[in-house]
Amino acid sequence: MSLSHLPATPESLIQASEAKAPSEAIAILYRVIDNPSSSPEALRIKEQAISSLSDLLRQENRAGELQNPLNQLRPFLSLIPKAKTAKIVRWTRAEKRTFLRQRIEAKLAALLMESKEYSEALSLLSELIKEVRRLEDKLLLVEIDLLESKLHFSLRNLPKAKAALAAARTAANAIYVPPAQQGVIDLQSGILHAEEKDYKTAYSYFFEAFEAFNALEDPQAVYTVQPQPKLGLQHQGPGLDAMKAVADAHSKRSLKLFEAALRDFKAQLEEDLIVHRHLSSLCDTLME
């Protein structure tokens, strides 16, 4: 398959339909989906490309390729509105495309979480988790168990957040988990331990997550661990500067420095809900 994308236009869909072999058509459709354009017309064309692609993969007994939506379908799904994603879910149900539907439903739940519609996201996941457990799709199960843990944490239900994370770890132990996914598991573990004020254990998990993300050059690395003399150098930026400012205020027991850090790094310190929770506790400590 070519690494370059094709224009998301009707002409590209015609090119796929006129391909001499199914494998050639599949390659063309993948390249259309890979197109980075997010214009309304491009999104409409990519919807049609996904429909045609799933038909061809089924006909060619290659439906298993849809196990890798992270590289092909997720970039597209992240661009389209929640309502459009829900429409695609209804289409996959009508067409009985179970494998694809489950992954799109997981993505829809993630979109609902991002828009803070936590109850609706949990309602969607509750049925999905039961279905995926029956099918024993361990990799997808890890993903949705992690998502459930994050949702419960957002609702301040720590016991259920821990239970969902434990389920994710159990499923992960039975399969090979990509390093990025393992990093997410460790990051969530660190977040939950920090919420219980078990900071030593939280730090160890954050550091494990940092190593996973750092090896992949993932920008999440800067959020997972306190500054390190050598490892922190390549992550210079506002995120690291914010951590340094808070650490300096804490070491000097200075409420004035703490308030200055909140003012200078508002995006990094107040808009992140997890960081904001711990900073509120730190503020109370400094005021005492």
Q: Measure the CA–CA gap between 152 and 210, rounded to whole angstroms.
A: 23
Q: In whole angstroms, what separates CA 66 from the centre of its chain?
A: 18
**Best mean pLDDT range from 64-68, 90-94, 197-201:** 197-201
pLDDT tens sequence across 127-178 = 899 888 888 788 899 999 999 999 999 999 999 999 999 999 999 999 988 8
- At residue 63 the predicted structure's pLDDT band, cuts being 50, 70 and 90, is low
Q: What is the mean pLDDT of residues 70-92?
A: 64
Number of residues written out for the chain:
288
So what's the pLDDT on residue 151? 94
* 69, pLDDT greater than 50: no
* DSSP string across 97-127: -HHHHHHHHHHHHHHHHHTT-HHHHHHHHHH
So what's the pLDDT on residue 255? 79
Give SS3 for 39: coil
pTM for the full predicted model: 0.64
Q: Measure the CA–CA gap between 204 and 148, rounded to whole angstroms.
A: 23
The label of the residue with tokens 């997972």 reads 224
**Angle subtended by helix axes 138-154 and 179-195, to nearest 10:** 30
- At residue 180 the predicted structure's pLDDT band, cuts being 50, 70 and 90, is confident
Q: What is the mean pLDDT of residues 49-57?
A: 84
